[in-house]
Structure 1
Amino acid sequence: MKRGTSQEQNMALGGSPCRERSSELVFLDVETTMPVRKEKRFRMLEFGAIVVCPRKLVEKRSYSTLIRPGDLSMVPESSSRSDGITREAVAAAPKFEEVAATIYGILHGKVWVGHNILRFDSARIREAFAEIGHAAPKPAGMIDSLDILMNKFGPRAGNMKMASLAAYFGLGKQKHRSLDDARMNLQVIRCCATILFLESSLPSLLSARDTGSPSASTRSRTREKPSADGTNKKTTPPLRVRQSLMCRTIARPSLRHLLRHAMVR
Structure 2
Amino acid sequence: MGEIVFFDVETTVPLGGGKRFWMLEFGAILVCPKKLVEVDSYCTLIRPGDLSAVEPRRFSGITRDAVSIAPLFEEVADRIFDILNGRVWAGHNIQRFDCARIREAFADIGKPPPEPLGLIDSLSLLTQAFGNRAGNLKMATLASYFGLGQQKHRSLDDVRMNLEVLKHCATVLLLESSLPQTLRNQCNMVTRSRANYGKPCGEEASRKSPPTSISTQRVVPYKRERFGKVMDGAKVALASAQTSRPLHSLLRHSRSLLR
TM-score normalised by length of structure 2: 0.74
Contact (CA 8 Å) 2:133, 2:188: kept in 1 or not?
Answer: no
Counterpart in 2 of 1:202?
179
The superposition leaves residues 200-237 of structure 1 with CA deviations (integer Å, 9 ceiling, x where unpaired) of 122433553224244599xxxxxxx65997352677xx
1:45 aligns with 2:68: no
Secondary structure in 2 matching 1:182: helix
Contact (CA 8 Å) 2:132, 2:195: kept in 1 or not?
Answer: no
Contact (CA 8 Å) 1:158, 1:213: kept in 2 or not?
Answer: no
Provide the C-alpha distance between the structure 1 equivalents of 2:71 and 2:47, rounded to a whole number of angstroms: 6
Question: What letter matches 1:155 in structure 2?
Answer: N
Gapped regions of structure 1 (runs ≥ 5): 1-21, 218-224, 236-265
Secondary structure in 1 matching 2:78: helix
Q: Say if 1:234 and 1:108 are closer, same or farther in 2 by CA, change over 3 A.
A: farther
Counterpart in 2 of 1:60?
39
Contact (CA 8 Å) 2:81, 2:113: kept in 1 or not?
Answer: yes
Q: Tell me the percent identity.
A: 61
Contact (CA 8 Å) 2:29, 2:159: kept in 1 or not?
Answer: yes
Question: What letter matches 2:47 in structure 1?
Answer: R
1:127 pairs with 104, 107, 111, which one?
104
1:187 aligns with 2:164: yes
Provide the C-alpha distance between the structure 1 equivalents of 2:24 and 2:3, rounded to a whole number of angstroms: 25
Q: Say if 1:57 and 1:231 are closer, same or farther in 2 by CA, change over 3 A.
A: closer
Secondary structure in 1 matching 2:192: coil
Question: What letter matches 1:198 in structure 2?
Answer: L
Counterpart in 2 of 1:169?
146
Question: What letter matches 1:96 in structure 2?
Answer: F
Secondary structure in 2 matching 1:135: coil
Provide the C-alpha distance between the structure 1 equivalents of 2:178 and 2:77, rounded to a whole number of angstroms: 45
Q: Say if 1:203 and 1:61 are closer, same or farther in 2 by CA, change over 3 A.
A: farther
Provide the C-alpha distance between the structure 1 equivalents of 2:31 and 2:14, rounded to a whole number of angstroms: 32
Give aligned pairs, total: 205
The superposition leaves residues 14-49 of structure 1 with CA deviations (integer Å, 9 ceiling, x where unpaired) of xxxxxxxx6111010000000013334000000000
Question: What letter matches 1:212 in structure 2?
Answer: R
1:34 pairs with 3, 13, 23, which one?
13
Counterpart in 2 of 1:83?
60
Q: Say if 1:164 and 1:213 are closer, same or farther in 2 by CA, change over 3 A.
A: farther
Provide the C-alpha distance between the structure 2 equivalents of 1:57 and 1:23, rounded to a whole number of angstroms: 12
Gapped regions of structure 2 (runs ≥ 5): 197-217, 219-233, 238-249
CA RMSD of aligned residues (A): 2.2
Secondary structure in 1 matching 2:49: coil
Provide the C-alpha distance between the structure 2 equivalents of 1:60 and 1:69, rounded to a whole number of angstroms: 29
Provide the C-alpha distance between the structure 1 equivalents of 2:254 and 2:38, rounded to a whole number of angstroms: 51
Question: What letter matches 2:38 in structure 1?
Answer: E
Contact (CA 8 Å) 2:13, 2:21: kept in 1 or not?
Answer: yes
Deviation at 1:179, TM superposition (A): 0.2
Secondary structure in 2 matching 1:166: helix
Counterpart in 2 of 1:73?
52
2:69 pairs with 92, 96, 99, which one?
92
Counterpart in 2 of 1:212?
192
Question: What letter matches 2:101 in structure 1?
Answer: R
Q: Say if 1:159 and 1:231 are closer, same or farther in 2 by CA, change over 3 A.
A: same
Contact (CA 8 Å) 2:81, 2:114: kept in 1 or not?
Answer: yes
**Structure number, greater radius of gyration:** 2
Counterpart in 1 of 2:253?
230
TM-score normalised by length of structure 1: 0.72
